[in-house]
Chain A
Amino acid sequence: MNRLIRYVALAAFASVPLWLHDPYLLNAFITTGILIIAAMSLNLLLGYTGQLSLGHVAFFGIGAYTSALVSLGFDVELIGGIRVVHEPWPVWTGFVIGTLVAALCGYAVGKLSFKVRGAYFVIVTISFAEVVRLIALNWVELTQGPLALTSIPPMTLGLPGVGYLDFYSKQSNYYLVLAVLVVSYIVIQRLVCSRVGRAMIALKENESLAVSVGIDVTRYLVLAAVFSAGIAGAAGSLYAHYLKIIDPDVFAFLYTVTMVIMVISGGKGTLAGPIVGGLIFGFIPVAARSFATPEIQWILYGLLMIIIVFVLPKGIVPAIEKWFAASGARADPEPLQAKMHDAP
């Protein structure tokens, strides 16, 4: 059943560029897709290990800047007069390096900040994101600061014997984003359905108990942070090569808030949650722009966030599952437990 829903959803999304020709809406699909990938990565931390990182946009931005800089090249002088010159590399190497650098930052941040929990963890992660933003803003030699990095090349893939495939059109970018989204989904699914994932869920449910049965807390939390940061970095790289311009605003706190609200509204700790929540919150601005100024849109956004936390604290997907389970229980007495972490 779940598998069927997954394939139908994938086929439906794959067909979008075939019937949708409005460039504005297609653009909304692409940016929403990128944010959904980021939200999925956040869900790995927030939903499965229970750690709320409000600095997640840092990894997204690091991925974006790294990928853009690798493919653009740079020439900077470090402290002590060491000059680092980098010639432009093919764009796909930027994507790979961006993902790896973000994952590495995830490792470092995880290793350092999992010493604290709860509110303190939240504050450390925000601080990290703000420091990175200020560096992007002030290290003008490398990042162009507020002038933004411009003319970032579109993603290209070198295929041996075939030539180059470049992702310039909106359609091709759509499929690129969809492909990365599917791969990220599978990676996250593999991870959370494995022994590692069960250890993470155990940590979320009861940390002291998990420790007492021999689960190495820091190791699993750091592992989650590495995967989470890497996927967020990949999303950032897609973002940079799709928009072709990035400025320090990519580190804005509101992007993290958007990711968090996508996860929470969809249902944290479910695989489908960030996708459902992401589609809703990705398209609210599209629906609202005809009648509301940006401030009003944001006010609606904030109010909706409060309302969702009040009304559906567990999110939409678990609510639907519960409803299905309740209506299905009469006809089909299948145990509920088996379904819990196997949602579409």
Chain B
Amino acid sequence: MTELLQHIVNTLILGSTYALLGIGLTLIFGIMRVVNFAHGELYSFGAYALYFVGVMLGLNFFLALIVAVVLGCFAGALIEVVLLRPMRGADIDTTMLVMIGAMIVMQNGEQFVWGGVAKSVSTPFPELPLVVGSISVSWLRLFVFCAALALIGVSYLLINRTKLGKAMRATFQDRDAAALMGVNIQFIYMATFAIGSSLAAAAGALLGPVYVISPQMGNLASLKAFAIVILGGLGSIGGATIGGFLLALAEELGAGYVSSGYRDAMGFLIIIAVLLFKPTGLFARAERIG
């Protein structure tokens, strides 16, 4: 029982960051129809940005987190303008190849700049974990959970309560109609990619100190984000949030009770199963396979 509770606590913490990754990707995929293979690289970009600002420049940890998210936002906007804007109207496979190229360049760029040795970031949180009954949680992880939840809340409000969010939702539903109503599609695309990227960077910056930062950390992050999006249904923030927690739960239970070697296989098995049996995702209302 204690073991199960501990797994659930771990799930909540891991799931909150997975949800951030998933929300970022579901916005990009849903609104722009871009299969963003560079998503995982923006995740590791966030982690390295935190390392650069927080450790090398010596800025306060919390400030460094904010700077990392802002840098992720700018990096996303840059990628969108340079690589995706000229590709408007190209088919989905073509843009996917461009994003794979971007992924290769970014990952090896990180390897080149930072070297292959993993970096770790120290945090201002106490070393001793918080112990409640038989469950222990480190303060850092607790902070990660709260920060991720706050960011999920912010993105939810952004999409559902602001003018920008309304324009984004309109573009998702029908791009041409939205453009006819005066929505600036180019700007919406850039904003979408920038927001998605900053959420990925936030996930990386939050998880970076929990684990270590290495150029390869983005490899699985992209695919896990896809698993989350497919699980939750396209373009649904709520779906991506729940999908993130479900993936984390599957991984935790799989690693805990089956075999830790197959931890990362859970996401892929989920993708395969969902696409084969319920291709619209668990929470999507609209048909989406086209």
B289-A52 in contact (CB<8A): no
Q: Which residues of B contact A127 (CB under 8 A)?
A: 223, 227, 267-269, 271-272
A151–chain B nearest beta-carbon distance, Å: 25
Per the CB 8 Å criterion, the residue count for chain B at the interface is 44
What's the count of A-B pairs with C-beta under 8 Å?
A: 121
Query: In the bound complex, what is the Cα–Cα distance between A296 and B109 (angstroms)?
Result: 8
A282-306 to B contact mask, C-beta < 8 Å, 1/0: 0000000000010110110111011
For A, the interface residue count at a CB cutoff of 8 angstroms equals: 40
User: In the complex, A313 Cα to B92 Cα: how many Å?
Assistant: 13
Q: Which of B56-64, B100-108, B203-211 makes up part of the contact surface?
A: B100-108
B166 to chain A, nearest CB (A): 26
Give the segment of A128-136, A159-167, A334-342 that binds chain B.
Answer: A128-136
CA of A299 to CA of B105, assembled, Å: 5
Asked whether A264 lies within 8 Å of B97 as measured between CB atoms, the reply is: yes
Do A118 and B290 have beta carbons less than 8 Å apart? yes
Name the CB-closest residue of A to B93. A52
Whole-angstrom CA separation of A306 from B106 in the bound complex: 13
| Chain B: minimal CB distance from A220 (Å) | 19
Q: Are A119 and B262 in contact (CB under 8 A)?
A: no
Alpha-carbon distance between A253 and B29 when the two chains are bound, in angstroms: 21
A172-198 at interface with B (beta carbon < 8 Å) = none
The yes or no answer to A19 lying at the interface (CB within 8 A) is: no
Interface string of A130-159 (1 = CB under 8 A from B): 110011011000000000000000000000
Closest residue of chain B to A305 (Cβ to Cβ) is B101
Q: Is the CB of B108 within 8 A of A299?
A: yes
5 more A-B contacts (CB under 8 A) besides A113-B275, A298-B105, A302-B104? A52-B93, A124-B272, A138-B262, A302-B102, A313-B94
8 A–B contacts, CB within 8 A, in A order: A52-B93, A116-B279, A124-B271, A124-B272, A124-B275, A257-B104, A295-B112, A313-B90
User: What 7 pairs across the A-B complex have the smallest Cβ distances?
Assistant: A302-B104, A138-B261, A127-B268, A305-B101, A302-B105, A306-B101, A298-B108
